[in-house]
């Protein structure tokens, strides 16, 4: 699971996703949501202290099935507990995804940001941002 899956759980159609940066940086997804197509962005990191998804969900869902057994964190549970846990997990995932869908940047927004970034090639932040926005512009 991750950011794109959270957007999908919230009802968006994710067309593509890109991560700009190495162990931390900015992610972007091209989405279709409520009749609008555009870019949704957020930050990512390499640990639960600097990555919002990891902070909220750890490494993913703790509920799973194996060999016809229902498990939570490796412990056997009832099917009812499993279904309730999965339902709650996907509701949390959808709520998390919705928090990113309140701003969907269209092509004009992306082009405007690109035009106003630093022209200094040594500026690492603007370099990552330029990479992400140039990718998005071509898809919008």
Helix (H) or strand (E) holding 110: helix 107-115
Dihedral sign for Cα atoms in the order 55, 59, 60, 62: negative
User: Do residues 77 and 86 lie in contact, with contact meaning Cβ atoms separated by under 8 Å?
Assistant: no
Q: What pTM did the predictor assign?
A: 0.87
The per-residue pLDDT for 124 is 66
Among the listed residues 87, 92, 100, the one whose alpha carbon sits nearest the alpha carbon of residue 33: 100
Indicate if the alpha-carbon torsion angle 130, 136, 139, 140 is positive or negative: negative
Q: pLDDT truncated to tens, each residue of the chain (140 aa)? A: 599 999 999 999 999 999 998 888 899 999 999 999 999 999 999 888 889 999 988 877 788 889 999 999 889 999 999 999 999 999 999 999 999 999 999 999 999 999 988 777 666 667 888 899 999 999 99
pLDDT of 10 reads: 98
> In sequence order, what are the beta bridge partners of 28?
18, 41
């Amino acid at each position: 699971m991750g950011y794109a899956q959270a957007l999908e759980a919230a009802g968006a159609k994710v067309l593509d996703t890109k991560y700009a940066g190495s162990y931390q940086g900015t992610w972007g997804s091209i989405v279709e949501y409520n009749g609008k197509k555009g870019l949704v962005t957020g930050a990512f990191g390499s640990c639960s202290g600097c990555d919002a998804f990891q902070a909220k969900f750890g490494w993913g869902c703790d509920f799973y099935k194996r060999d016809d057994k229902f498990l939570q964190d490796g412990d056997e549970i009832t099917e009812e507990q499993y279904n309730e846990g999965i339902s709650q997990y996907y509701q949390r995932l959808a709520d998390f995804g919705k928090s990113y869908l309140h701003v969907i940047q269209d092509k004009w927004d992306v082009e405007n940001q690109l035009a106003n970034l630093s022209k200094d090639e040594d500026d690492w932040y603007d370099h990552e941002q330029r990479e992400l926005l140039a990718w998005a512009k071509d898809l919008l």
